[in-house]
Structure 1
Amino acid sequence: MMSEFMYYKIIGQLIKSKREERGMTQEELAIRVHISRPSITNIEAGRHLIRIHYLYQIATSLEVSVHDLLP
Structure 2
Amino acid sequence: MDATKQRFYKEMTVGDAIALHPEAGLVFSSYHLGGCSHCSINEFETIEQVCQGYGVEAEVLLDSLNNLFADEEDEE
Q: Determine if the TM-score, normalized by the shorter chain, exceeds 0.5.
A: no
TM-score by length of 1: 0.40
Which structure carries more helix by proportion?
1
